[in-house]
Structure 1
Amino acid sequence: MENATLKRSLALWQIVLMGIGYMTPMVVFDTFGIASELTDGHVPLAYIIALVGMLLTAVSYKKMIQVFPTAGSAYTYTQKTMNAHLGFVVGWSALMDYLFLPMVNALIFQIYLHSLFPSLPEWIWVVGFVAITTTLNLRSVNFTANFNTFLVLFQIIILILFISVAIKGLLSGEGTGTIFSLQLFYEKGLDISSLVAGATLMCFSYLGFDAVAMLSEETPNPKKTIPRAIFLTALIGGIMFTITAYFIQSVFPSPSDFKNPEASSPEIVLYMGGVFFQMVFLAGGLAGVIASGISSHASVSRLLYVMGRDNILPKKVFGYVHSNLRTPVLNILIVGLVSLSAIFFDLGTATSFINFGALIAFTFVNLSVIAHFVFRKKKYKTTKEFFNYILMPLLGAAAIAILWLNLEKNSFIVGIGWAAIGFVYLLYITKFFKFNPGKIEFKEMDELEPSSQIDIDVKSI
């Protein structure tokens, strides 16, 4: 079949819900016990602090997408604003995060189903999960987005049901005994260092809000739609996390309320609604895992597509788009095959492979703003330009720096190893830097006047 291009058909809210599906709204239950211990019972505040840090990076994504409205995200921004070789290293590093998240989702799916059907071999659930996510992604991107929307809305219904049960319990005198309590956000003697540690943990719940940038070539107006989608994904996800955490904390105000903080989710659900609610919650958890699996599978296949289109990866394979489906079908199948390797991993090992790539991407998106607007376009002379192109991205980079300081040792070691493999491959394809790895050109947007740029940054979102 003749090669084609991706189909521009996604609307704003389809993209936002893809991003929210990627983050998984119900993840707040899984990490709550540990977060409550770290923050001494102030998880909602930690989520808010983490949200502020993520929104700073979201603003940097917004600026760069308006200049380079393509599916390459941090890979493209670094490649076009700094150095093509560095751009490859950033894209390669991000690729590890994107490739392993579908595997993590497959393993969580396996854990859920094996607990219900212990007599069946565990590998069946990995194969089943990969078959579902691969098949759905092979369809048109609109079909994939619409199915993801259904799964996300189902999770939201579960959260609303949980909050309703929590309110009923609070009115009956459980937990704090009140619906509104400022104590969960602030009280005398609050340990700031513990709060920052908790906020760092919460930041990892937001990983994936940037993945919607990979859909830039599948929406009619990417310069307008994708920046809004990234910001709204982080904002709405943060609001959902914070509200849910608030009501969990209201019912379980003390970290000592949990017998096993590392497995708080079953305790929360069983206490709140008994066995029936536990089954409903399990269904919501499965919906969340599948939604995240669909979104992450779609994102990594688009990153591979851009790297293939640039001829960094073999173009005939990775740069191919099906002429009827208008999806990168070969990449989708490749990601499915890689995801099957989850059969040979445990959840802890697979999880250690992610986060490094995401932090690399976040860091270089912030730095790309400075490289493009300050060093290339010389936009630093007015107060507005200084605020937009120096102060904001530096604050975003500083927020990510805190995450770097708290990154697990295994994640860092594995990430460096993966980057080293990519560097060796880069030496090979460039014949030891004799030429650049990517040559595709992107047409930049018309430069906005400084006075209107500040309106874009604040108001258009």
Structure 2
Amino acid sequence: MTSTPPVAPSAPAVSLGAQLTRRKPVERLVADAGSGEGGTLRRTLGVWHLTMISIGATLGTGIFVVLGEAVPVAGPAVVISFVLAGVIALLSALSYAELAGMIPAAGSSYSYSYATLGELAAWVCGWCLILEYGVSVAAVAVGWGQYVNELLDATLGVTIPDAWSQPPGAGGYFNVPALVVVVLATLVLLRGVTESARVNTVMVVVKILALLLFCSIAFTAFRAGNMTPLFPLGLAGMSSGAATLFFSYIGFDAASTAGEEARNPQRDLPRAIMLSLGIVTVLYCLVALAAVGALPWRRFEGTEAALARIVDNAGGGSLAVGLLSLGAVVAIASVVLTVLYGQIRILFAMSRDGLVPPIFARVDRRTGVPRANTLVVGLFVSVLAASIPLGELANATSIGTLFAFALVNVAVLTLRRTRPDLPRAFRVPFAPVVPIAGALLCCYAMLSLGLSTWVVFLGWMVLGLALYAGYGRHHSRLNSDTMGACSSTSSTD
């Protein structure tokens, strides 16, 4: 009689709770940064380029575009709104600096959440980053067209008709300039990270000079009476303005998405994050003070090219308006370039972990760029920019950013408790007070945003959770590793 070979027991099923809370160890995150089936990114960036990436992604958005949206909400207190938004950003920047030095991965706060809060929290954070980076590119591109028109009017006496420079719902059919700037940024990024960093550095220098030119003209028309009353809409208006203006600080974390392309990430990433935020905050407050001092706050309503209008009213002449508009065109193009870069790296990290399709993690051998990723993101964002009005984009981006920043502060607290042994090139001072304050202020700013913004955000979260349930949870590399380990154990037994 032949004996029947024993049947190996099936691998034990992994519970849903275990899947949602499983964490990716810090050591593995760091190791994965130097490996990958689709290829690896190249380490070519120093502290100078990293700082320029953060400034490029930040400086210009709030001043050149969103200032005209925030002043009618806060009045002259918009200067204090910038300070408050800067303080909120600073507290989170300190947490970013500590984690970026510990975990130099392309995923930024997505990777930090994966190491501390588990896979579901990481997915939610990554989904918020897609809203933060991808949608903010579209929002900034919308404002770019306004300054293109200012430049054309000052130099050639012509403008692009509203039908082709405004999105549907704002008096137009299609925002062609917004489409163009995203396509141009995509083409630059396809050439390689070193070339993109060089182009961005030139653009950052141009926009700083443009803002200094604005201040030199606007302060000649400064009227103290324009600053009173300081709080015409109360403290609530100032808080609401800060929540809106937080959109203008979201670029400082862009350096953290370059963690796998930095030559010395442990040393240079914290330096770049803190240096860029300091430079940007000083310039923002200086320009905001000059702007509201030169133009009564009620006259900011309805313009996304506020600085050019102020220079014209201050008697700067068509040459000054043209130079400022040129600086704004370059500045906003720089934001589009660097924030689009960050979005692509976030998707790269999520794809390498299996949470989004593998096409986003394939690196071109010649350029060292995730080529397909860049093309897909560029196409999606260009269509979004050409068809959605600015206001809702900016507010939706702010709430996604605040949520991600709150998670970063929590991640610092978690790693301080669970992994005190890990080397830290930078440590958040006065912890745990600073990370707790950063998380609470982010939550406070979120509550200051309107109901429509919350509806958009919650809808975005529902869509993201559905995608995770349908794809990410089943394709996660941690999922396959866990099942493989279980199968191996069962076979051995």
User: What one-letter code is carried by the residue in structure 1 that aligns with 2:433?
Assistant: L
Match of 1:175 in 2: 223
User: What one-letter code is carried by the residue in structure 2 that aligns with 1:291?
Assistant: S
User: What one-letter code is carried by the residue in structure 2 that aligns with 1:176?
Assistant: A
Match of 1:327 in 2: 369
Work out whether 1:151 is the aligned partner of 2:187: no
Work out whether 1:368 is the aligned partner of 2:411: yes
Match of 2:7 in 1: none
Give the 3 Å change call, closer, same or farther, for CA 402–157 of structure 1 in structure 2.
same
Q: Which has the larger radius of gyration?
A: 2
Residues in 2 aligned to 1:216 and 1:30: alpha-carbon distance in whole angstroms: 29
Give the 3 Å change call, closer, same or farther, for CA 138–437 of structure 1 in structure 2.
farther
TM-score (norm 1): 0.81
Contact kept? 2:239, 2:445, Cα under 8 Å: no
Work out whether 1:78 is the aligned partner of 2:113: yes
Cα drift, residue 23 of structure 1: 1.7
Match of 1:60 in 2: 95
Match of 1:89 in 2: 124
Work out which of the residue numbers 379, 383, 394 in structure 2 matches 1:337.
379
5+ residue gaps, structure 1: 178-182, 380-384, 441-461
Structure 1 segment 149-298 matched on structure 2, within 5 A = 149-167=201-219, 169=220, 175-176=223-224, 192-252=235-295, 254-256=296-298, 258=299, 260=301, 264-272=306-314, 273-298=316-341
Give the 3 Å change call, closer, same or farther, for CA 288–439 of structure 1 in structure 2.
farther
Q: Taking every aligned residue pair, what percent have the same amino acid on both sides? A: 26
Cα drift, residue 271 of structure 1: 1.1
Work out which of the residue numbers 159, 174, 190 in structure 2 matches 1:138.
190
The SS at the match of 2:224 is coil
Residues in 2 aligned to 1:221 and 1:242: alpha-carbon distance in whole angstroms: 32
Work out which of the residue numbers 24, 36, 49 in structure 1 matches 2:59.
24
Please identify runs of 4+ aligned residues in structure 1 that moved more than 6 A.
Answer: 183-190, 432-435
Contact kept? 2:308, 2:321, Cα under 8 Å: yes
Give the 3 Å change call, closer, same or farther, for CA 351–203 of structure 1 in structure 2.
closer
The farther-off stretch of 339-348 and 411-420 is 339-348
Contact kept? 2:46, 2:264, Cα under 8 Å: no
Give the 3 Å change call, closer, same or farther, for CA 121–242 of structure 1 in structure 2.
closer
Cα drift, residue 435 of structure 1: 8.6
Cα drift, residue 224 of structure 1: 1.4
Give the 3 Å change call, closer, same or farther, for CA 140–420 of structure 1 in structure 2.
same
Cα drift, residue 31 of structure 1: 4.1
Contact kept? 2:409, 2:435, Cα under 8 Å: yes
5+ residue gaps, structure 2: 1-36, 151-158, 166-173, 483-493
Match of 1:314 in 2: 357
What does the per-residue CA deviation read over 1:110-144, in whole Å, with 9 as the maximum and x for residues that have no partner? 44446723299455434422321111001121111
Residues in 2 aligned to 1:30 and 1:347: alpha-carbon distance in whole angstroms: 9
Match of 1:452 in 2: none
Match of 2:389 in 1: 346
Cα drift, residue 46 of structure 1: 2.9
Contact kept? 1:373, 1:389, Cα under 8 Å: no
The farther-off stretch of 73-82 and 40-49 is 40-49
Contact kept? 1:20, 1:233, Cα under 8 Å: yes
Residues in 1 aligned to 2:448 and 2:258: alpha-carbon distance in whole angstroms: 30
Residues in 1 aligned to 2:290 and 2:368: alpha-carbon distance in whole angstroms: 43
Match of 1:101 in 2: 136
The SS at the match of 1:218 is coil
Cα drift, residue 206 of structure 1: 0.9
Cα drift, residue 266 of structure 1: 4.3
What does the per-residue CA deviation read over 1:3-27, in whole Å, with 9 as the maximum and x for residues that have no partner? 4311111121212122122123363
Residues in 2 aligned to 1:259 and 1:355: alpha-carbon distance in whole angstroms: 21
TM-score (norm 2): 0.77
Residues in 2 aligned to 1:146 and 1:329: alpha-carbon distance in whole angstroms: 19
